A and B are shown apart, each in its own frame.
Chain A
Amino acid sequence: MFFGLPFQRNPRLQMLKNVVLFKDLSMHELGMVDSLLHERRYLADEVIFDEGEEGQGLFVVLSGRVKIARPGDARGMLIEFDPGSFFGEVALLDQSVRTAQARAIEDTHIVALFRAEFYSLLQTHSAIASRISFQLARVLAARLRQAVINSNEHHMAP
Chain B
Amino acid sequence: MNRALAAGPIVWLGIILTTCLLLVLFQSMLWLVMPVLMAIVLYYIMSPWVNLAMSKGISRSRAVFIVTMLLCVLILAVGSIVEPKIVAASHDWRDKIKQYSEVGMNLVDKAEQTLKHYFSFAHSSESPSPARPASGSVGFVANEPPPVSSSDNLENDVSNLPAKYSGDIARELAHWIPSLLLVPYITYFFLLDGPRFKRFLVQAIPNAFFEKALYLFYRVEDQIRRYFQGLLALTALDAISLGVGLWFFGINAPFLLATIAAVLAWLPYLGSIAGGLLVVLVAAHDAPSNPWLPYEVIALFILVRLLDDFVFMPMTVGRSLRMHPLVAVMMILLGGAVAGISGLLLVMPVLGVVMVTGQILGELVTDERVMARYWHARELRHRRARADLYAD
Contact = CB atoms under 8 A, between A and B. Distances in A.
Do A and B make up one complex? Answer: yes
Interface stretch (A12-20, A52-60, A74-82, A143-151): A52-60
Contacts of A47: 208, 373, 376-377
**Tier of interface size on chain A:** 20 to 34
Residue of A40, A56, A126 most packed against chain B (CB within 10 A):
A56
B289 interface: no
A106 interface: no
Interface in B141-182: none
B54 A124 contact: yes
A2 B373 contact: no
A8 interface: no
B199 interface: yes
Nearest to A37: B199
B363 to A, nearest CB: 11
Interface stretch (B64-72, B79-87, B210-218): B210-218
Interface string A41-75: 01111111110011111000000000000000000
A114 interface: yes
A95 interface: yes
B207 interface: yes
**Tier of interface size on chain B:** 20 to 34
A38 B51 contact: no
B54 A125 contact: yes
B377 A56 contact: no
B384 interface: yes
Residue of B199, B211, B384 most packed against chain A (CB within 10 A):
B211
Chief secondary structure at chain B's binding surface: helix
B241 to A, nearest CB: 32
Given A1-B200, A126-B55, A35 B195 contact: yes
Contacts of B207: 40, 42, 46, 48
Contact of B196 (A1, A42, A123): A1
Contacts of B60: 35
B369 interface: yes
Contact of A46 (B1, B214, B380): B380
Interface in B293-314: none
A1 B199 CA distance: 10
Given A112-B210, A125-B55, A38 B377 contact: no
Nearest to B384: A43
Contact of B214 (A95, A114, A123): A114
B282 to A, nearest CB: 43
Given A46-B380, A48-B207, A124-B55, A38 B202 contact: yes
Contact of B193 (A2, A53, A56): A2
Contact of B380 (A2, A43, A112, A114): A43
Contacts of A2: 193, 196
Contact of A40 (B210, B218, B369): B210
A36 B198 CA distance: 10
A116 interface: yes
Given A54-B215, A114-B218, 14 more contacts: A2-B196, A35-B196, A38-B199, A38-B202, A38-B214, A45-B380, A47-B373, A47-B377, A50-B373, A54-B211, A55-B211, A57-B214, A123-B51, A125-B54
Interface of A: 1-2, 35-36, 38-40, 42-50, 53-57, 95, 112, 114, 116, 120, 123-126
Interface of B: 1, 3, 51, 54-55, 60, 193, 195-196, 199-200, 202-203, 207-208, 210-211, 214-215, 218, 369, 373, 376-377, 380-381, 384
5 contacts: A47-B373, A47-B377, A56-B214, A57-B211, A123-B55
